[in-house]
Amino acid sequence: MCRLKPACLIALMTGLLSLSGCFDTGNSEGRGLVVLNGSMLKGTITHADVSVFNSKGGLMWQGTSDAHGQFQAQYATSLNQLASLVITVTQESQIQCDATRCVAPLSAKEYIFGEFMPGNEFGSVSFRNSVYLEAADGSSDVREATRQVNGVSSLVMDVIDNQLVQNLTHQAYQQLALRGSAAVIVALGLPVNQPNNILQMTLPDITQDIGLNNTTRIEAILGLVNAAQAANIALLPQFSEAIIRFANSPQDTAAKAVISEIQQLYLREAQHLASQMAVNDAALMQDIEQAVVNGVNFAVLAQAVNTIEISNISASNSHYSGRLNQTAGQWWWVSASGSGQDEWVQLDYSEAFYPAQIEIGLYQRFGINNPMIQGSHDGEHWEEVATVDNPANVEDYTDERNVRHIRITPDSTLEYQHYRFSARPVESAESVWLEYLCFSQTAIPQSQPQLQPQGTPCENRLEPVSSSASSYRLAAQNIASPEPNSWWVSELASGDEQWISIQYNESFVAKRANLVVKSRYQGKDPTLQGSNDGQVWIPIVKLNPSGYPGESTDEQGFRQLELSLDHGVAYSHYRYHSSPSSFVWLQFLSFNSQPLEK
């Protein structure tokens, strides 16, 4: 599980070199004394090797865990310094099985919950955590810290390993710990409701009767997951390696498959453990059940593993953008697919009024549930004005394009300043497609039911002062998701330059770009550019439309590119740019501070 970067540390995992001959022992930095109280939980691991390294890979302290898996390390170092903890199973170790059934990797022998397994059946298995101590206020040079090393903390350390560089500030370390924790939580299919630092958590020991008491829900769930890992400890490095592969290439379907498979195994075993322990926390059990049912949201995971956070995504323009003030039939709106939520289009007016007539053009390619018109006085609290499918006040017909034209005469005479159409897609993978929506203060006399309405749709409409929508199917934000069918498409034949830009929370040197672009619609002279103000753009690399060695194109005609960038300048804005063309079609775009793996 140990993924420390120096070659001698890698040997720890492979067992090629001994601990005593590998490390620069006694490499202390300064006179500050650190007293580190630690424990190992997988369940209890007795008599394991415990090592503390500085940021250069030098060994500052080495000892063993006791019969309860606990240890106390004392080492001298300068404060404001990162220290990494590595616990390695030895021949003398005993490992308590805390899953319903555990399999020793070397012997394939099975053990049941609570039994101790001999370390010689495990080979060189390691677990990790870290600690960063700031200089204390006052005169004391002694600092104390407490850390638990467990399987979940090891996953976080693996995810952030490449960013644990020398001279790391405490703030940067905290941000890395939160990002790595969020990535692991999302990869387990669990909700990230608030920032969590797994590296500072003390997870419950479920082999104890009070294991899940007096702990938060996320700590209880992660404690169950940590225990579930013992069912097959060999999956632990496979899980973190798949997360890292996905972080480097979100289109890696093999990595996504490994993450999904192991996530299901961990969560189902956690369910079994909770059932065995007769856990009666309904909310906890529901969170685990939802994680099993929903699986991994890879769009959220792609954002969680991004080392530099995105603050904004914008584009020159977008197709299906819902230009709601245009004449009926000349615009349309399509919601994002797969939301599973109510989708809506909202029109805002200069003053409140009663709509004597409402007209809607609804493309019926996608099925919807509970379509309705709602009104609001403040744009936040909504009340039902009319049900779209109520035959008592609805006249409609469907034309040859499968567009359903609907005319509604509301029963209510209440006046509102804000109106919206709302509906929920039938299935989570579908969308809502609206061709027009308008409100009038005068009503056209109704024709016979099922006959084409008289007049042109929306010719008596009131002009809204603004409009908005819950989502757009081809919005710029979609390029942050690695999921197929999550696209940005620029406006068709606009005659303008086309671009989509990503603004990050901090400047960084992008060493790699990942993008997925439709091979037929890459635009003209496509170029990756950087900027620090979003106004002046500097070319970084011009894309080769003909392809690169080793490049792949999927069955839908999307090029999947990983480009090495060698420009050496830090930017806070990066973008994909095209000279005027018919349109540009992008599925995914990201910039990363880590270079391509060789």
Measured between alpha carbons, how far is 185 from 305 in angstroms, rounded to an integer? 11
Give the pLDDT band of residue 8 (cuts 50, 70, 90).
Answer: very low
Environment class of residue 7 by beta-carbon count within 10 Å: exposed (0-12), middle (13-18) or buried (19+)?
Answer: exposed
Helix then strand then coil, % of the chain, to nearest 5: 20, 35, 45
**DSSP per position, 198-210:** GGG-----TTSTT
Question: Taking the alpha carbons of 237, 23, 132, 43 in that order, is the dihedral positive or negative?
Answer: positive
pLDDT at 14: 29
284-306 core/surface letters (b: 16 or more CB in 10 A; e: else): bbebbeebeeeebbbbbbbbbbb
pLDDT at 78: 67
Backbone angles phi, psi at 398, to 5 degrees: -115, 125
Are 469 and 437 contacting, i.e. CB atoms less than 8 angstroms apart?
no
Which amino acid belongs to residue 588? F
Counting DSSP H helices and E strands in the chain, the numbers are 9, 32
How far lies 309's CA from each of 55, 246, 503, in Å? Answer: 24, 17, 9
pLDDT, the chain, mean: 84
Measured between alpha carbons, how far is 301 from 199 in angstroms, rounded to an integer? 19
- Please report the domains of the chain, with CATH numbers, ordered by start residue: 7-304 (no CATH), 333-469 (2.60.120.260), 476-592 (2.60.120.260)
For residue 309, give both structure tokens.
Answer: 């956070």
Which residue reads 């404690």 in tokens? Answer: 223
Q: Which of 55, 50, 52 is nearest to 81 (CA)?
A: 55
pLDDT tens track for 413-437: 899 999 999 999 988 768 898 888 9
β partners of residue 420 = 346, 374
Most confident region among 42-46, 169-173, 560-564, 574-578 by mean pLDDT = 574-578
Measured between alpha carbons, how far is 83 from 132 in angstroms, rounded to an integer? 6
pLDDT tens track for 73-82: 888 776 677 8
* pTM (predicted TM-score): 0.70
Give the pLDDT band of residue 13 (cuts 50, 70, 90).
Answer: very low
Are 318 and 474 contacting, i.e. CB atoms less than 8 angstroms apart?
yes
β partners of residue 488 = 586
E strands present in 78-213: 81-88, 94-96, 101-103, 110-112, 116-118, 126-133, 142-150
Measured between alpha carbons, how far is 262 from 478 in angstroms, rounded to an integer? 27
Which residue reads 């709302």 in tokens? Answer: 422
**DSSP per position, 258-316:** HHHHHHHHHHHHHHHHHHHTT---HHHHHHHHHHHHH---HHHHHHHT-SS-EEEEEES
Are 49 and 62 contacting, i.e. CB atoms less than 8 angstroms apart?
yes
pLDDT tens track for 524-574: 999 999 999 999 999 999 999 888 877 888 889 999 888 999 888 999 999
Measured between alpha carbons, how far is 77 from 33 in angstroms, rounded to an integer? 6
Between CA 333 and CA 339, with CA 336 as vertex, the angle to 5 degrees is 135
Indicate the length of the chain as a whole number.
598
Environment class of residue 12 by beta-carbon count within 10 Å: exposed (0-12), middle (13-18) or buried (19+)?
Answer: buried
For residue 136, give both structure tokens.
Answer: 């204390």
The yes-or-no verdict on residue 344 having pLDDT over 90 is: yes
Give the pLDDT band of residue 395 (cuts 50, 70, 90).
Answer: confident
